[in-house]
Amino acid sequence: MSTKLAKQTLNLLNDTKKTNNDKDTSKKLKLPKINKGIRKVKHEMRYGRHKKTNLLQKEKKRHENPLDQLYQEELSAEERLKRNVQLLQSALKASEVEKSIYRDVIKEAKSKRGKKWSSEVDGSEGDAAYNSD
């Protein structure tokens, strides 16, 4: 029985060494022989599409009529201006409380002005230029 166990253990030890070597060699990947290796490939995969789309857009712009492009820019500028004006008007619009306070202040200012003018008109009867007629 002991010889049988010894053979099994030797076989297992010998087999594991072979399988370990095979696994190690199969896992290793060779890098492509370029300047920066796999980094360059990854960069191209990640950002290459953006370069292509940018180049296509530049080609389209080159073939377009420049007057049409200018007209589109003017329209977009007008639309932006209208939108900004609407936003500012809505943001700067006074609330009802502010409007009522403003009305009260204006009324008080007018009443003070009215009293001042009325007193001056009443006091102007003693003026020599007014009585000269």
- The SS3 call for residue 73 is helix
- The SS3 call for residue 4 is helix
- Note whether 106 and 112 are within 8 A (CB): no
Q: What is the pTM of this model?
A: 0.31
Nearest alpha carbon to residue 51 among 39, 43, 62: 43
Digit-coded pLDDT (tens) for 26-49: 667 666 666 666 777 777 778 777
First-last CA distance in the chain:
153
Digit-coded pLDDT (tens) for 82-116: 999 998 888 888 888 988 999 999 999 888 876 65
- In the chain, domain spans: 32-63, 65-117
How far apart, in whole angstroms, are the C-alpha atoms of residue 105 and residue 51? 63
The percentage of residues in the chain with a pLDDT greater than 70, rounded to a whole number, is 68
Confidence of residue 127 (pLDDT cuts 50, 70, 90): low
Tell me 95's DSSP state.
P
